[in-house]
């Protein structure tokens, strides 16, 4: 999708479809909705006035009203998209409304469209004050790009219904505001594309996206983005002593891939990074298919386990965005990719493994494989010089039981690193809920015969046992663990999103990294 930013009265823009956002400005729970358009263009307001006066459009989030040949506008259609209550206006709402506009255009065969940048006319500034121009334009771009993607690449009856061009149209404003809007527009483009890149990887079936293929895709992305990328396999795992990662991989005929992507900031001439400058380590779980191994999963819904590399995809997507946004901080991403299979060469319950860090692990369940590959990934990232770690993984069903599919889980061993992550969420608009991993839980993974075991002794608090396991390998290094099992796959169709891979965590990881620059 081509994207363009224009500064002019939206009424004068010739386009097949102009979308404008609307809020409900009524006060009080029982009051009738009072709809206001977020535009300063009188012509746009007038065009919708008589329909809005009927009260049939209430501006709830994702609600749509389509007018053909709107009076006084150059646009062929005017699409009014609801944002919900003005009082509750949020970046996330704006992102969803932009997505709604795009997804309303697609089935209508509309190829080109415009979105009117939200401007407050009917609203007092108070409502938009938490939504600075940069954040608004960024969210619109992200929401639109993410909404545009559909999963029809494997259908032979594919009907191309894409929106090829999107214009964001804001009124003439002073230069500084223009710059702010432009900045958000550019960032939104980068981050939205990166999120879609991750989603496309997750959508790929296990027979196509093997660990080797994931390595190839990461390498190709890095070459294009100007990042260094190394892809290793079994030999390197053995050489590094990655006994945990290797154990998971050895049941499959598909060789594993250890993918290392590096971003080095280019500083101005004569400047160097401080000796104690942070080095960010992004570690991803890349199980291209999780059968459970010898502790095999039930057949019901197993096909979804192609998404068990969503953590890896999030990191690869994040690296793509980082390469484009160029923060002044070094970033190394380590992706551990394997296929978890039952076979004559598979690892077994009861096996004792030796991780790269030297810790010994008793395997209780071969389906708890994600933490094993991450254990070696986290330790390896530290040996590469990472001072701060973040990992993302579709790690536990227990996290889905705990938080459902709205919030993903976040764990941390460091308050400063967590505070920065919390700040990143304010920009990304993603929903993560913190769960504990304090040493009170340490005993849950104590083994009789090895240092630790790969599942908790009981079934309670399974997301926490997994986090406690990873924490052993993060050690004293500030570390964030994202359990995205419940949020990496959208189960529901919404006006702004289709079912399937969500690309969750890309945006938050990128912002977290930037907060260290
Ligand atoms: N990839 C799964 C996590 C998962 C399970 C995601 C269900 C989404 C839905 C992971 O490898 C796994 O199987 N974890 C086990 C751990 C258990 C054996 C301790 C789980 O959550 O059941
Ligand atoms: Zn598993
Ligand atoms: Zn898994």
C-alpha span between 359 and 446 (Å, rounded): 12
Tell me which of 202, 371, 396, 456 to substitute to probe ligand 1's pocket, judged by most ligand atoms within 8 Å of the beta carbon. Answer: 396
Q: What pLDDT, on a 0 to 100 scale, did the predictor assign at position 176?
A: 96
Give the Å distance between the CA of 493 and the centre of ligand 1.
24
Q: Is the CB of 360 under 6 A from ligand 1?
A: no
- Active-site annotation holds for 514: no
Q: Is the CB of 312 under 6 A from ligand 1?
A: no
C-alpha span between 125 and 131 (Å, rounded): 10
For 432: left if phi > 0, alpha if psi spans -120 to 50, otherwise beta; the answer is: beta
Atom of ligand 1 nearest to the CA of 290: 1
C-alpha span between 405 and 422 (Å, rounded): 19
- Asked if residues 338 and 283 have their Cβ atoms less than 8 Å apart, the reply is no
- Active-site annotation holds for 297: yes
Q: What pLDDT, on a 0 to 100 scale, did the predictor assign at position 124?
A: 54
> Looking at residues 442-455, what average pLDDT do you find?
97
Give the Å distance between the CA of 310 and the centre of ligand 1.
13
What does each C-alpha distance from 122 to 45, 49, 132, 155 come to in angstroms?
10, 13, 17, 46
Tell me which of 347, 367, 489 to substitute to probe ligand 1's pocket, judged by most ligand atoms within 8 Å of the beta carbon. Answer: 367
Q: Which helix (H) or strand (E) holds 5?
A: strand 2-7
Give residue-wise pLDDT tens across range 282-313.
Answer: 999 999 999 999 999 999 999 999 999 999 99
Q: Is the CB of 293 under 6 A from ligand 1?
A: no
Question: Looking at 21-35, 52-66, 135-149, 434-448, which range is the least confident one?
Answer: 21-35
- Exposed/middle/buried for residue 511 (C-beta within 10 Å: 0-12, 13-18, 19+): buried
Q: Is the CB of 187 under 6 A from ligand 1?
A: no
Phi, psi of 97 (to 5 degrees): -65, -40
Q: What pLDDT, on a 0 to 100 scale, did the predictor assign at position 153?
A: 79
Give residue-wise pLDDT tens across range 112-141.
Answer: 999 999 997 545 555 666 789 999 999 999
For tokens 């992004």, name the residue. Answer: 282
> Which long-range contacts does 489-494 make (Cβ < 8 Å, 24+ apart)?
489/202, 489/304, 489/307, 489/310, 491/405, 494/62, 494/96
Q: Is the CB of 394 under 6 A from ligand 1?
A: yes
Atom of ligand 1 nearest to the CA of 486: 8
The domains found in the chain, sorted by start residue, are 2-192 (3.40.220.10), 204-264+274-514 (3.40.630.10)
| First-to-final CA distance of the chain | 30
Q: Is the CB of 396 under 6 A from ligand 1?
A: yes
Q: Is the CB of 369 under 6 A from ligand 1?
A: yes
C-alpha span between 282 and 9 (Å, rounded): 44
Strands (E), 448-504: 452-453, 479-483, 489-490, 500-501
Give the Å distance between the CA of 374 and the centre of ligand 3.
11
The answer to whether residue 82 scores a pLDDT higher than 60 is yes
Give the Å distance between the CA of 482 and the centre of ligand 1.
14
Atom of ligand 1 nearest to the CA of 370: 11
Band of the pLDDT at 160, cuts 50, 70, 90?
Answer: confident
Give residue-wise pLDDT tens across range 231-265.
Answer: 999 999 999 999 999 999 999 999 999 999 999 99
Question: Is beta strand 489-490 parallel, antiparallel or unpaired with respect to 500-501?
Answer: antiparallel
> Among residues of the chain, what percentage have pLDDT more than 90?
91
> Among residues of the chain, what percentage have pLDDT more than 70?
98
Q: Is the CB of 166 under 6 A from ligand 1?
A: no
C-alpha span between 165 and 169 (Å, rounded): 13
Token output for 330: 């070094």
pTM, two decimal places: 0.97
C-alpha span between 60 and 64 (Å, rounded): 9
Atom of ligand 1 nearest to the CA of 305: 1
Q: What pLDDT, on a 0 to 100 scale, did the predictor assign at position 270?
A: 85
């Amino acid at each position: 999708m081509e994207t363009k930013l224009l500064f002019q009265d939206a009424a004068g823009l010739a386009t097949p479809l102009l979308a404008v956002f609307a809020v409900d400005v009524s006060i009080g729970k029982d009051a009738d909705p009072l709809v206001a358009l977020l535009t300063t263009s009188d012509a746009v307001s007038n065009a919708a006035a008589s329909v809005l006066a009927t009260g049939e459009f209430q501006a709830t989030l994702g609600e749509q009203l389509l007018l053909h040949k709107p009076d006084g506008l150059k646009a062929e259609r005017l699409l009014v998209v609801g944002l919900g209550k003005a009082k509750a206006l949020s970046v996330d709402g704006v992102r969803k409304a932009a997505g709604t506009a795009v997804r309303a255009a697609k089935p209508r065969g509309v190829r080109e469209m415009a979105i009117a940048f939200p401007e407050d006319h009917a609203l007092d500034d108070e409502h938009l004050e938490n939504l600075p121009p940069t954040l608004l334009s960024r969210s619109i771009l992200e929401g639109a790009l993410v909404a545009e993607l559909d999963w029809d690449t494997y259908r032979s009856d594919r009907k191309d219904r894409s929106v090829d061009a999107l214009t964001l149209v804001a009124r003439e404003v002073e230069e500084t505001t223009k710059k702010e809007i432009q900045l958000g527009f550019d960032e939104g483009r980068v981050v939205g594309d990166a999120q879609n890149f991750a989603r496309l990887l997750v959508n790929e079936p296990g027979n196509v996206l093997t660990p080797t293929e994931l390595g190839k895709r990461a390498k190709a992305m890095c070459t294009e983005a100007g990042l260094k990328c190394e892809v290793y396999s079994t030999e390197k795992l053995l050489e590094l002593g990655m006994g945990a990662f290797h154990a998971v991989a050895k049941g499959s005929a598909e060789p594993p891939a250890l993918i290392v992507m590096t971003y080095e900031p280019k500083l101005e001439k004569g400047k160097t990074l401080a000796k104690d400058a942070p080095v960010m380590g992004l570690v991803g779980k890349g199980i291209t298919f999780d059968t459970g191994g010898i502790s095999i999963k039930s057949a019901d819904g197993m096909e979804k386990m192609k998404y068990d590399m969503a953590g890896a995809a999030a990191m690869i997507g994040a690296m793509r965005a980082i390469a484009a946004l160029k923060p002044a901080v070094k970033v190394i991403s380590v992706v551990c990719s394997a296929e978890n299979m039952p076979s004559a060469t598979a690892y077994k319950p009861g096996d004792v493994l030796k991780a790269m860090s030297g810790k010994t692990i008793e395997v209780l369940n071969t389906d708890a494989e994600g933490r094993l590959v991450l254990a070696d990934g986290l330790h390896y990232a530290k040996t590469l010089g990472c001072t701060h770690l973040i990992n993302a993984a579709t790690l536990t069903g227990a996290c889905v039981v705990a938080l459902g599919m709205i919030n993903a889980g976040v764990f941390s061993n460091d308050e400063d690193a967590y505070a920065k992550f919390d700040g990143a969420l304010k920009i990304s608009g993603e929903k993560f809920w913190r769960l504990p991993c304090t040493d009170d839980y340490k005993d849950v993974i104590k083994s009789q015969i090895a240092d630790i075991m790969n599942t908790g002794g009981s079934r309670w608090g399974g997301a926490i046992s997994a986090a406690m396991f990873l924490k052993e390998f993060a050690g004293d290094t500030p570390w964030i663990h994202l359990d995205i099992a419940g949020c990496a796959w959208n189960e529901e169709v919404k006006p702004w999103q289709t079912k399937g891979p969500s690309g969750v965590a890309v945006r938050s990881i990128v912002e977290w990294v930037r907060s260290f620059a």
